[in-house]
Amino acid sequence: MRANDDTMVVRSGEELDLSAVERYMRKHIAGLGPESLDVRQFPSGASNLTYLVRVGSWEGVLRRPPFGPVPPKAHDMEREAGLLQKVNPVFPLAPKPYVFCNDLSVLGVPFYIMERRKGIVLNTEFPADITPNEQLCRALSTMVAETLAQIHAVDWQAAGLGAFGYPEGFLQRQVKAWIERYHRSQTDDIPQVEPLTRWLSEHVPQSPAPTLIHNDFKLNNMLLSYEDLTRPTAVLDWEMATIGDPLVDLAITLSYWVNQNDPEYLQNVLPTVTTFPGFIHREQFIDLYAQKSGRDISSMHFYMVFAYFRLVVIIQQIYARWKRGQTHDERFASFGSRVRSIIMYAAELAERGRL
């Protein structure tokens, strides 16, 4: 997988007004050459839409909200661009934003353009020219845990990030808000939802001291060096980043960290390279993070149940948009069955009482 293999022709229904975008870019970004604007789309991701914008040898990345109605307060481009402006100097793996646009005459929605970072995304398989071994997979595991600990080590107050979150009562609000989001986007009756949401509401633990959290940190939200997969070149998708409970961030990462001994339905719902031999198990990841961060991880059972429920809600919101005809991306047609499978897994984990 090399430099131009990570984009595709823009999907039908997700095209940009090229002339409007080019006029805006030439007015607000210095150093663009005389060549015409060329746009391609990054295929991964199911939330904000991301495009490669290229003028000659100059490249940037444009991010905009999805088409159609979106949940309240979601897809806030101004907030995301402003946060990256402050995070990039203290955590350079966060891309630098170039310009934010709130002129709705350009695309009809706010958007921003940031620097383009290059690298490999590890999603469901390794690039064809890389043969993974257990040593590489263990090293990747360590790198992911260390990177998460580095995000949480950022001095968010010194970086001027105090306005980007409300850490007091963060976990209680999160549990309440994600339960409400599920009910707003609910399309099917699933019996396990009511006892699961009641359990979550009744078992909220005390949070550790707040940190900067990415809130969607996972292996395939990282770009990895072409020369050395264990060296990250970027951490992407900061739209939900805030100041809050770092153990929520850890659990979110691990809700995507599927291992080869997990139930088959979970592996099918969340396909990922972390099922390859050598990737550490979630319990080992938790211990490694605790070593790197010095945090008490004794309440991780609750956090993992919550993270799986949160993942359910994200998938359900996307599925609801597809079912209501607000998006025609056929990738989302199977998301209803994914919701059921992960709810079952979260409910069983809650009942088990341990990881």
The CATH number for 317's domain is 3.90.1200.10
Q: 245 pLDDT exceeds 90?
A: yes
Task: Please tell me whether residue 191 adopts helix, strand or coil conformation.
Answer: coil
Provide mean pLDDT across the span 194-202: 98
Please determine, for residue 75, whether its predicted confidence score (pLDDT) is greater than 90.
Answer: no
Q: What CATH number is given to the structural domain containing 111?
A: 3.30.200.20
Question: Residue 158 above 90 pLDDT?
Answer: yes
Q: Are residues 239 and 270 in the same domain?
A: yes
In-domain check, residue 12: no
Q: Is residue 334 part of a domain?
A: yes
Buried b (16+ CB within 10 A) or exposed e, 311-335: bbbbbbbbbbbbbeeebebeebeeb
Tell me which of 115, 150, 179 is where a domain ends: 115
- pLDDT tens digit string along 324-344? 888 888 889 889 999 999 999
pLDDT band at 2 (very low <50, low <70, confident <90, very high): very low
Structural domains of the chain, count: 2
Three-class secondary structure of residue 51 per DSSP: strand
Same domain for 84 and 225? no
Based on the fold, state whether residues 69 and 154 are members of the same structural domain: no
Q: Residues 74, 223: one domain?
A: no
The pLDDT value recorded for residue 71 is: 57
pLDDT at 355: 86
pLDDT for position 98: 97
Is residue 124 a part of any domain in this protein? no
Asked whether the CA dihedral 171, 172, 178, 181 is positive or negative, the reply is negative
Check whether residue 49 and residue 83 sit in a common domain: yes
- What does the angle CA 72 – CA 76 – CA 78 come to, to the nearest 5 degrees? 145
Best CA proximity match to 272, nearest among 254, 251, 258, 290: 258
> Is there a single domain that holds both residue 110 and residue 140?
no
CB 320 within 8 A of CB 180: no
Q: Are 147 and 273 part of one and the same domain?
A: yes
Which of 115, 148, 171 is the endpoint of a domain?
115
Question: Which residues of 87-133 form beta strands (DSSP E)?
Answer: 97-101, 111-115
User: Does residue 125 lie within any of the structural domains?
Assistant: no
The three-state secondary structure class of 36 is: coil
Task: Tell me the residue length of the chain.
Answer: 355
pLDDT at 3 exceeding the cut of 50: no
In this structure, the answer to whether residues 70 and 173 fall within a common structural domain is: no
Flag whether 121 is in a domain.
Answer: no
Both 139 and 88 in one domain: the answer is no
Q: Which residues contact 15 (CB under 8 A, 6 or more apart)?
A: none
Residue 177 shares a structural domain with residue 296: yes
More confident residue, 230 or 2: 230
In a domain, 126, yes or no: no
151 and 244 fall within a common domain: yes
Pick the last residue of a domain from 115, 149, 183: 115
222 and 344 both lie in a single domain: yes
Average pLDDT over residues 63-87: 84
Report if residue 236 sits inside a domain.
yes
Is the confidence at residue 1, as pLDDT, over 50?
no
pLDDT for residue 74 is more than 80: no
How sure is the predictor about 93, in pLDDT bands with cuts at 50, 70 and 90?
very high
How many other C-beta atoms can be found within 10 angstroms of the C-beta atom of residue 185? 20
In a domain, 10, yes or no: no
Give the pLDDT of residue 48.
Answer: 87
Give the burial class of 300: count Cβ atoms within 10 A of its Cβ; 0-12 exposed, 13-18 middle, 19 or more buried.
buried
The pLDDT score that the predictor gives to residue 4 is: 45
Are the C-beta atoms of residues 327 and 277 closer than 8 Å to each other?
no
**354 or 197: whose pLDDT is higher?**
197
Domain hosting residue 32, numbered range:
18-115
At residue 171, the pLDDT reads: 98
Whether the pLDDT of residue 5 is over 70: the answer is no
